[in-house]
A and B are shown apart, each in its own frame.
Chain A
Amino acid sequence: MIDLQDFMVTLPVIEVALIALASLVAAAVWGEKAVRALGGVAIGAFLLALATMYCPVRFETFVDGTMPVLAFGSHFIDDGFARFAKTIILIASSLSVLLSWDYFEKEGHARAEYPVLILFVTLGMMLMVSASDLLSLYVGLELQSLSLYVLAAFNRDDSRSTEAGLKYFVLGSLSSGVLLYGASLIYGFAGATDFASLSALLRETSNPGVAIGMAFVGAGLVFKLAGVPFHMWAPDVYDGAPTPVTAFFATAPKLAALALLTRFVLSPMDGLSAQWHQAVMFVAVASMLWGAFAGLAQTRLKRLLAYSSIANVGYLLVGLLAGGEGGVQAILIYFAIYALNTLGIFALVLCLRREGRAVDSIDDLSGLSKTHPLAALAMAVLMFSIAGIPPLAGFFGKYVVFLAAVKTGFVPVAVIGVLSSVVAAFFYLRIVKVMYFDEPLLALDPLPGWGVRFVLGFSSVAMVALAVLPEPLIQGAVRAAESFSG
């Protein structure tokens, strides 16, 4: 049953798994001394997985560049969509490790478990985006979630961080339970767990039990995405978790959950589109509006970014609502730009330290353009980009998402979307205003190490470069979306 083919298809995942296990041992043996080395190992593992994934030898013999390939029965799928999502996830994870490079040392709790946990989360995410069975879906999701709970509480001496971890754990496990219950309903009524059989079954017959199961699974995934009305945990967890962890939360795990949701509703649940369209439309519109309006009242950067991410989940779900190749393309393009943009913003948040302590209220940015002109310029680029103002890359993300929505006839959703983006523009502008219009308060500490500065520079340059030459990204997304043709 299991042969070489299975192992070769899953090779990138296996590599990350083995390195994660070895790192765990190393962390136990060498402890704090190994923090930096293990961080390097984690980035190395991600790059290795990327290289393996696109290795030409693998394409020639084991996987197909155009057709999906299954492995281990039907649990694991390798197709263009999964590869594209994994690419973004691996890049985002690598940048997240860079963001934490000297953060925990400065905060006085450098622990070797951090890179190891990131490795495990990434492993879980890689499984999630390649899941093609309700069982592998759940295994991947839980591997990711359990590691994320620990990461949220990583500042274990800080009451806000432990509170964040606990909140996330309680609500997260509830949502996992809901998801599992939904999966059991689907299995009970349809008699299959793998996506291909489910898809065939549900195209012929529809069954209210399956629809309810789908709603539960969907709710569980929307919780992981922090979409309204399952968003309540996000501001507290974002605010309480250590900043590099928050940066990670806002990017890669969101894509994993979104990719999973996309595959789930567009492949096995395609026959039930009438049912899930309503739900996705509600979540999308509510997230866009709530994220935009609630963000207006925030005074702390990390909470503001939490609401910003809620609004962005709304835009992404508009892409899902559009569905089909166009919608999937839009989701992937939007997410790639959003993830890079967000990591850059968090890099700047990590730059804000005063007298050795991290600060994160919006007013701490006052006059940044005078004290750190280049950092302020980078941040301004990132803010205009995420607000969707051309000529920056964020505009193209919004363009493809709302184009997909108009194309499939969801014009009112697109209109609500663009109007909510004007509301959201207000709080992004406020950050530019504070940096450029206001006078500096107390002096900030010098900028931190190269890791953070690299991420900040990389992401702001990418926002300009992707605007001038979006073609490589768009081509990649177009090829990835072909997995959902027909």
Chain B
Amino acid sequence: MVSLPILSVLTFLPLIGAAVILLAGNGDEEARARFAQRTALGVSGGTLVLALALLAAFDPSVPGFQFMERFVWIPAYNISYIKGVDGISLWFVVISAVLTPVAVLAAIGSVKKRVREFMIALLVLETMMIGTFTALDLVLFYVFFEGVLIPMFLIIGVWGGEKRTYAAYKFFLYTLLGSVLMLVAVFAMALYAGTTDMTVLMGGKFPKEMALWLWIAFFASFAVKTPMWPFHTWLPYAHVEAPTAGSVILAGVLLKMGGYGFIRISLQMLPDASLVFAPLVIGFSLIAIVYASLVALAQTDMKKLVAYSSVAHMGYVTLGLFSFNRQGFDGAMMVMLSHAFVAGALFLCVGVVYDRLHTREIDRFGGLASGMPKYAAAFMVFTLAAIGLPGTSGFVGEFLSMQGAFLVSGWIAFAAALGIVLGAAYMLWLYRRLFFGPLDKADVRAMPDLNGREIAMFAPLLVLVLWMGVYPSSFINVYAPAADNVLSFFGAQAHEAQHD
């Protein structure tokens, strides 16, 4: 085993980078901005290397948590600083570490004012994200989960678009409202069990009625974060107004916190209550898939379209999770991982043309395929991945998720399949309107193709999307024992339910 506290290093390395940017760097404003950009890229790159090292050192055959760190933080309240990863959280750490340098690259091109502050906010955000996924104490988890709000509020509000203030408030208050209810549930759990150690709390140790209330309180937080219909209304605003780098992180990582919370807390700690509420979640998921896809069809703003497609994709996640079978679980995990890269990439794609023309109106463009061939090719791959074409990452997740749903009921899978048809419709229509047709607008014709920096930020995502599509088991194998561990709470119980 590694004696170095690698998870803490991974968590706080970006924070140290942020402190360096805050305190060091001299010269005029431009020199300091350049210093901030380089430091942010270096630190987030270093974090990525560490995360990949972690992935390599991780032993996938062990179902439990690895790289555990544990010391007592606040003895009077029995709160400990516990960190550890299993195969599930490991992947979320990796996507956080992959997407942050990508976001930094995007920001280098598009954020022109208050560069230092932006880089600081991004790095603080990375610390909070990795902290959330590696925390194994409920209070520690809550601290990081909520701490995300501060940098994201500033990113949307300071560097956002026209209605940024409204979007930032809505994002912050909506999420906070869900989370404070979760806090009350944390109190109740801590008092009942006498500890906030998540490894101890797992396995459904709470009395039935209490578990139902706890489940609702946690649901309030995770449903807003995921976001699940009808708690999704903050998302389109936040995405549309956020700068490109902010949208990438928001779609890529922040939404996954909801899914991760569902797995770690709703499924693992409150399995009985999850079974009780499963029909509700599945109903919401189906509505989300169909409704959000229909809304996406009607959008004229590219970012809003991608934002609504995110809501639909998250529907597959919750659908898969609450099918309580291995196919559904794998589907949920793969949709989350795939969506992290695909939605991140699509927001980057929107950012590319927004940087050049400062508009996201779909109708302003057209015929880009001849003017920007490299861009068109990259966009094509991500569009197809979003639709779920076999061979791309999107296919694996959606297919497995629907298979899981089919095992529960054929009708559920039928409704979910509607979303795939609609998804193909809005994505292909978007592609047609952007890239085909005559290239007749002078300013659109004048747009240059992707430059080196932009290719650098798309390249890793392209590789990941294709790799995941062609060889998904390399991803699944890492978390398979952990997934069986989660589902072991349901194996027996789901069985009993059928016998009744």
On A, residues with C-beta under 8 Å from B are 329, 369, 384, 389-391, 395, 399-400, 402-403, 406-407, 411, 414-415, 418-419, 421-422, 425-426, 429, 432-433, 436-437, 470-471, 474-475, 478
Q: How far is the CB of A441 from chain B (nearest CB, A)?
A: 17
Are B176 and A406 interface neighbours, CB within 8 A? no
B173 within 8 A of A: yes
Starting from the known contacts A411-B184, A422-B173, A425-B176, 13 additional A-B residue pairs (CB-CB under 8 Å) come to: A329-B76, A384-B150, A390-B144, A391-B147, A399-B139, A403-B77, A403-B191, A411-B188, A414-B187, A419-B180, A433-B165, A437-B168, A474-B74
Q: How far is the CB of A88 from chain B (nearest CB, A)?
A: 18
Show 23 A/B contacts (Cβ-Cβ < 8 Å), sorted by A: A369-B117, A389-B147, A395-B146, A399-B77, A399-B139, A400-B77, A403-B190, A403-B191, A406-B188, A406-B191, A411-B188, A414-B187, A418-B184, A422-B173, A425-B173, A425-B176, A426-B173, A429-B153, A432-B153, A432-B154, A433-B169, A437-B164, A474-B74
- Is the contact region of chain A dominated by helix, strand, or loop, or is it mixed? helix
Q: Which A residues lie within 8 Å of B75 (CB)?
A: 471
Q: How far is the CB of B87 from chain A (nearest CB, A)?
A: 27
Q: Which B residues lie within 8 Å of A425 (CB)?
A: 172-173, 176
Are A389 and B146 interface neighbours, CB within 8 A? yes
Q: How far is the CB of A54 from chain B (nearest CB, A)?
A: 21
Q: How far is the CB of A413 from chain B (nearest CB, A)?
A: 11
Are A429 and B169 interface neighbours, CB within 8 A? yes
Are B150 and A437 interface neighbours, CB within 8 A? no
Q: How far is the CB of B54 from chain A (nearest CB, A)?
A: 23
A474-B180 Cα distance, complex, nearest whole Å:
22
Are B169 and A426 interface neighbours, CB within 8 A? yes
Q: Give B252-270 as 1s and 0s: 1 = Cβ < 8 Å from A's Cβ atoms.
A: 0000000000000000000
A411-B181 Cα distance, complex, nearest whole Å:
11
Question: Given A391-B144, A437-B165 in contact, is the A429-B172 Cβ separation under 8 Å?
Answer: yes
Q: Which B residues lie within 8 Å of A421 (CB)?
A: 180
Q: Which A residues lie within 8 Å of B153 (CB)?
A: 429, 432
Q: How far is the CB of A254 from chain B (nearest CB, A)?
A: 24
Are A433 and B188 interface neighbours, CB within 8 A? no
A426-B180 Cα distance, complex, nearest whole Å:
14
Are A436 and B157 interface neighbours, CB within 8 A? yes
Closest to B127 in A: A391
A329-B176 Cα distance, complex, nearest whole Å:
26
Going nearest first, the 4 A-B pairs with the smallest beta carbon separation are A418-B180, A390-B143, A406-B187, A437-B157
Q: How far is the CB of B207 from chain A (nearest CB, A)?
A: 15
A181-B168 Cα distance, complex, nearest whole Å:
52
Instruction: Report which residue of A421, A422, A432 has the largest number of chain B beta carbons within 10 angstroms of its beta carbon.
Output: A422
Are A390 and B165 interface neighbours, CB within 8 A? no
The A-contacting residues of B in range 175-231, CB under 8 angstroms, are 176-177, 180-181, 183-184, 187-188, 190-191
Q: Which B residues lie within 8 Å of A329 (CB)?
A: 76
Instruction: Report which residue of A390, A407, A419, A426 has the largest number of chain B beta carbons within 10 angstroms of its beta carbon.
Output: A390
Q: Give B142-162 as 1s and 0s: 1 = Cβ < 8 Å from A's Cβ atoms.
A: 111011011001100110000
Closest to A406 in B: B187
